[in-house]
A = this chain, B = another copy of it.
Amino acid sequence: MAEQNKQKKQVEEITSMEEDFAQWYTDVVKKAELVEYTSVKGCMVIRPYGYAIWENIQRILDGMFKATGHENVYMPLFIPESLLEKEKDHVAGFAPEVAWVTHGGKEPLEERLCVRPTSETLFCEHYAHIIQSHRDLPKLYNQWVSVVRWEKTTRPFLRTREFLWQEGHTCHATAEEAWEETRRMLDVYATFAEESLAIPVIKGPKTESDKFAGAVSTLAIEALMHDGKALQAGTSHYFGDGFAKAFGIQYTNKENTLTYPHQTSWGVSTRIIGAIIMTHGDDNGLVLPPAVAPVQVVVIPVAAHKPGVLEAARALTERLNGFARAKMDDSDNSPGWKFAQYEMKGVPLRLELGPRDIEQGQCVLVRRDSGEKITVPLAELETVIPAQLKALHDALYQKALANRASHTYRCTSLEQIQQALRTQGDGFVYAMWCGDEACEDAVKEATGVGSRCIPFEQEQVAETCVCCGKPAKHMVCWAVAY
């Protein structure tokens, strides 16, 4: 009974999703020990368990970047004000939200330096130094760094003044190549979201009003969270030759003519951990997709004081580590407390091993997503565990897909949008748009949903704009967004 009480106590500490989704989120990031607050307002400590998720994300994405020919570099943390100002749309977009360094030691600086909010300007300066000939192209660079944007209101992972990300910056001989790269990296992100994070995404360009500062076009992947709000999980920008012109990047082409190259940039940040939490989590806490789970299988010895149990559990854990990320918890907490603890932390599989199991050459495997318990012969773990991890991934994906399907509303009038949101809750609204920014604003004003992207996979929901009734140009995916 004591065990059960402890277990209950632990679980009771998080607010239920239905009751208060925002509080549930805050509880999960704290109780699962992903982050801790600091005295630096808007910045967070990413704790070992949270950082291990990020390391897995990095490892997988970095492998995908390298497989597509990209190289990692490191650019300075600081950008001189005059450098930031070289591309006028870019500075207009970022200057209001940067942190300024004004003093080095006791000396005031001759020129203020901003702490990078993004590094287009530094990459451009570097490209202007190192690119002379068509032989120098393409340059396919990426960096893993932290960036700073002085946000007013912040939430762990979702919006913080400092966040970790990768930023790819590439330079190409032609517009076609640069555009191809922009699409390729969006596809890399979508593949990663779906195949590694089990998060289904919608791909498409942003509208003009929502583009990255300085971009010709911004492509995004948009995911739907459990509460029906949208989260932009990655962006890929096509710059044309605008930055090249602003920064004087020129190369001699094969015809010996001085030419401006075409550029892209693309990024995914620690924000995506917020997407994992809000796509898969439940009232017992985090649910982690196996590909990025720091621990894929937690081994819990049952009746650990009985002779041979701990030794067997230890040996089994070592064996599991040959093909999965496994960990044994041999602390003196009760099994019940441990069950709740690793549920909170979203560990995909729990393996229970007690004296009777050992006798019978079996163990109990419990799925984090469904709670399903199966008894598995120990000899079969090499096949059963990978199969269960894959099945769990697939189940998470299908569940997220079903949630999205049941919260995607095809609407042909503002009233329909209002009613769908009121009766069925927040979600993706698919509705037609004439392309006029005034209508985009009016939809938001009237219904609360903003344009997320213009999905590549278009549907002909209607012939006319949901707002003004003029001929429609696109179907837009609208939503309330994080």
Contact = CB atoms under 8 A, between A and B. Distances in A.
Interface in A380-408: none
A72 interface: yes
Nearest to A48: B71
A273 to B, nearest CB: 12
Interface stretch (A10-18, A93-101, A193-201, A298-306): A93-101
A71 B100 contact: no
The quantity of this chain's copies bound in the complex is 2
B76 A45 contact: yes
A126 B95 CA distance: 31
A414 to B, nearest CB: 35
A163 to B, nearest CB: 10
A318 B95 CA distance: 48
A120 B55 CA distance: 23
Contact of A146 (B77, B80, B98, B107): B77
Among the interface residues A43, A52, A75, A78, which one has the most CB atoms of the partner chain B within 10 A? Answer: A78
B101 A38 contact: no
Given A38-B125, A101-B100, A105-B98, A43 B77 contact: yes
A51 B65 CA distance: 15
A79 B45 contact: no
| Interface size, A (range) | 35 or more
Contacts of A129: 36
Given A100-B103, A101-B115, A141-B48, A122 B76 contact: no
Nearest to A123: B45
A449 to B, nearest CB: 28
A296 to B, nearest CB: 17
Among the interface residues A45, A55, A97, which one has the most CB atoms of the partner chain B within 10 A? Answer: A45
Interface string A433-475: 0000000000000000000000000000000000000000000
Contacts of A98: 104-105
Contacts of A146: 74, 77, 145
Contacts of A45: 73-76, 122, 126
A150 interface: yes
Given A96-B106, A99-B104, A76 B36 contact: no
Interface string A82-117: 010000000000011111111111110000010100
Given A40-B80, A115-B115, A150 B104 contact: yes
A123 B280 CA distance: 31
Given A40-B80, A79-B40, A113-B40, A74 B103 contact: no
Contacts of A150: 104-105, 107
A171 B419 CA distance: 56
A77 B51 CA distance: 15
A241 interface: no
B48 A78 contact: no
A93 to B, nearest CB: 12
A48 B39 CA distance: 36
Contacts of A162: 76-78
B105 A38 contact: no
A82 to B, nearest CB: 8
A324 interface: no
Nearest to A110: B41
A185 interface: no
A44 interface: yes
Contacts of A99: 78, 101, 103-104, 113
A97 B103 CA distance: 10
A8 interface: no
- 3 A-B pairs with the lowest CB-CB distances in the bound complex, closest first: A43-B76, A104-B150, A48-B71
11 contacts: A38-B125, A39-B80, A40-B76, A40-B79, A44-B76, A45-B122, A77-B162, A78-B99, A99-B113, A100-B101, A101-B101
